[in-house]
Structure 1
Amino acid sequence: MKTNQEQGLLVNEVSRITGLSRQVIRKWEDRYDIVCPKRHENGYRLYTIEDVSTLLKICEMRDKGYPLKEAIHLFRQDQSMRAMPIPPVNEYVIELMEKGQHYDEDGLLLILKQAHHRYGLERFLSEVIQPLMLAVGENWANGDWDESQETITSLLVRDFLVQIRRNFDLAEGTPKILGCCLPDETHEIPLHIILLQAMMHGWQTIAAGPSPKLSSIEFLVQRLRPEKVMLSATTTIPFERDPKLLDKLEAMAARNTKTEFFIGGHGVFNHELFLSPKKIRIAYSIEDVLK
């Protein structure tokens, strides 16, 4: 049976193009649902050019050292982001950026309160805080904002989120998550967002503050005995300053086996060391931590 591009490609042809065996292609198809070939009337699987492209991208990531499951996850995440329509800029984000540009702390606080009351916590985090911090970071990186504008806005947002966490009522006996930035990591806001998301799912949270020592993190783990620990790295600075940081974190997790350790943040995703940690799980979202 011969095929053409419009009809589809047989598994033998896909195998020749990608370098994957027929068995591996079908295994990935059945186990991970990476591609979904159509069936010819005689029962043969027919793969599209898009299917071949997907397999080649997964192979490329795997060849760079990514474990297969992580490569598939990152590929799907990239596809989802590409397919996601760009939302209009939120009115509150525009107002907050204007107040931050003019060092208006009272104005920032008032708009944060208004947005929180209007949207509720979940939408407030996703539609106001996260886009705001992205915009602040871009303005600072581009030189449109000076360091004081970025610092004032970030600190006020951080304090506002901390206040929400302190006033969040949960029943006694709820499971605990300990949230910690890594040593030399001072960006706390992504961690507070994660902890607030966990609280909305019924988890008690404790935050260790910016740039704690590893010994301080382990002391808290042993004293508080949380069910889970969330380690956060917004930048790659912790790994650049301590090339053996991953080994030390893995050793900490090995010594505290009754607690699950997770790590996330752009600093983790962008750092080549974190390809396959053995004791710590990489978390791409709060769902990865809570499931």
Structure 2
Amino acid sequence: MKKNQEHGLLVKEVSQLTGLSPQVIRKWEERYGLICPKRHMNGYRLYTCEDVATLMKICRLRDQGHSMKEALHLFRSHQTPEPVPKMPVSEDVLALLEKGSMYDEAGLLLLLKQALHRHGLEKFLSTTIQPLMREIGDLWASGKWDESQETITSLAIRDFLVQIRRNFDLVEEAPLMLGCCLPHEMHEIPLHIVLLQAMMHGWQTIAAGPSPKLSSIEDLVQRLEPQKLILSATTATPFTHNPHLFEQLEDIAERNPSTQFFIGGNGIFDHKIYFSPKKIQIAYTLEDVFNENRG
């Protein structure tokens, strides 16, 4: 092992040392920039002892009950955290997770329908769907779920929310809100939750698919002329792919002054310090969107 450490550790060795799967290690590397392994001439990633220590610190923070976002913040700010008690998971969420772990789409659909009818839409979103998505994210990030379990379960939830939106009755003169994920943003569910909440406030909504091109976003704004546009950044991936993305979005907003542009999601938190918003408003809550009206 000493000889290997001098030249670098392979992902399989790091996996054995940390207890994380190779898939999770690579995802943490790509999504959060925690470590930056060198490449051997044959293309293999080579990790250092410092990389292993970093991963172990994040694992310890998560074992103490911190979310991934909290763990990253504490690690980067060198704080000594207090263990955070985890909120209890409802019976609805536990039952849905069990079906998802077994790839039981029919069972997922039945439980989602039952929870919706039992709670009503507003409570269903806040006490079932949002906690469920957090649990799925934690299971995937910790390696307890593989990518297929996360993907199949998330797709079933997304399709269920889309179906609710399609069957939502609104008056014809309802104002229009357009929702778009950012380019390279594949997580649609948070956007559908926001749009459903907007519909409960009387808005007609349209959602673009995952990872649209910037040109497609502008084309939709010009064709539909929505009163408000919600840009969703669930992860920081769009900004990693394109460091000039926010400036380009500002240019689009400048060319389309009749639409109010908003951007929100966890992906903006690490990047907002670089923003100098002129036309786009940062929305931390949905109330920021609803309460912002043109003077």
TM-score w.r.t. length of structure 2: 0.69
Q: Which runs of 5+ in 2 are unaligned?
A: 1-81
Structure 2 counterpart of 1:91, one-letter code: E
Q: Deviations over 1:61-102 (max 9, x none)?
A: xxxxxxxxxxxxxxxxxxxxx9xx965321100000111111
Query: Are the equivalent residues in 2 in contact too, given 1:268–1:274 (CA < 8 A)?
Result: no
Contact 1:139 1:145 in 2 (8 A): yes
Q: Counterpart amino acid of 2:178?
A: L
> Secondary structure at the residue paired with 2:95?
helix
Q: What are the residue-to-residue correspondences of 1:52-201 with 2, within 5 Å?
A: 87-201=87-201
Relative to structure 1, the CA distance from residue 281 to residue 215 in structure 2 (aligned partners, 3 Å threshold; closer, same or farther) is same
Q: For the residues of structure 2 that align with 1:87 and 1:127, how far apart are their CA atoms?
A: 12
Q: Which residue of 2 aligns with 1:234?
A: 234
| TM-score of the superposed pair, with normalisation by structure 1 | 0.70
1:278 to partner: Cα distance:
1.5
Give the letter aligned to residue 144 of structure 2: D
Q: For the structure 1 residues 274 and 160, does the alpha-carbon distance in structure 2 shift closer, same or farther, using more than 3 Å as the test?
A: farther
Distance 1:230 1:273 in 2: 20
How many Å separate the matches in 2 of 1:221 and 1:161?
23
- CA RMSD, 1 decimal: 1.6
Could you say if the C-alpha distance between residues 216 and 106 of structure 1 is closer, same or farther in structure 2, counting changes exceeding 3 Å? same
Q: Report matched runs for 1:200-239 at 5 Å.
A: 200-239=200-239
- Could you tell me which amino acid in structure 1 is paired with residue 167 of structure 2? N
- Alpha-carbon separation, structure 1, partners of 2:130 and 2:236: 20
- Find the aligned partners of 1:212 and 1:93 in 2 and give their Cα distance: 31
The answer on whether the counterparts of 1:246 and 1:273 sit within 8 Å (CA) in structure 2 is: no
User: How far 1:277 moved relative to its partner?
Assistant: 1.3
Amino acid paired to 2:112: L
How far has the Cα of 1:276 moved from its partner? 3.3
Offset at residue 259 of structure 1 (A): 0.5
Q: Which contiguous aligned blocks of 4+ residues in structure 1 show a shift greater than 3 angstroms?
A: 85-88, 272-276
Amino acid corresponding to residue 174 of structure 2 in structure 1: T
Q: Is the 8 A contact 1:218 1:252 kept in 2?
A: yes
- CA positional deviation for 1:271: 1.8
The answer to whether the 8 Å contact 2:246/2:275 transfers is: no
- CA–CA separation in structure 2 for the residues paired with 1:87 and 1:113: 24
Q: Distance between the aligned counterparts of 2:248 and 2:275, measured in 1?
A: 16
Q: CA deviation at 1:122?
A: 0.3
**1:44-76 superposed Cα distances (whole Å, 9 cap, x missing partner):** xxxxxxxxxxxxxxxxxxxxxxxxxxxxxxxxx
C-alpha separation in 2, matches of 1:120 and 1:274: 40
Give aligned pairs, total.
209
Residue aligning to 2:286? 286
Identity rate of aligned residues, in percent? 68
Structure 2 CA distance, aligned partners of 1:254 and 1:273? Answer: 21
- CA apart distance, 1:274: 4.6
Contact conserved, 1:230 with 1:263, CA < 8 A, in 2? yes
Mapped partners of 2:165, 2:120: distance in 1: 14
**Alignment partner, residue 245 of structure 2:** 245
Give the secondary-structure state (helix, strand or coil) at the position aligned to 1:172: coil
CA drift of 1:270 comes to 2.3
Give the Cα–Cα distance (whole angstroms) in 1 for the partners of residues 274 and 121 of structure 2.
32
**Can you give the 5+ residue segments of structure 1 that lack an aligned partner in the other structure?**
1-81
Specify the structure having the higher radius of gyration (Cα): 1
Using a 3 Å threshold, how does the CA distance of structure 1 residues 141 and 208 change in structure 2: closer, same or farther? same
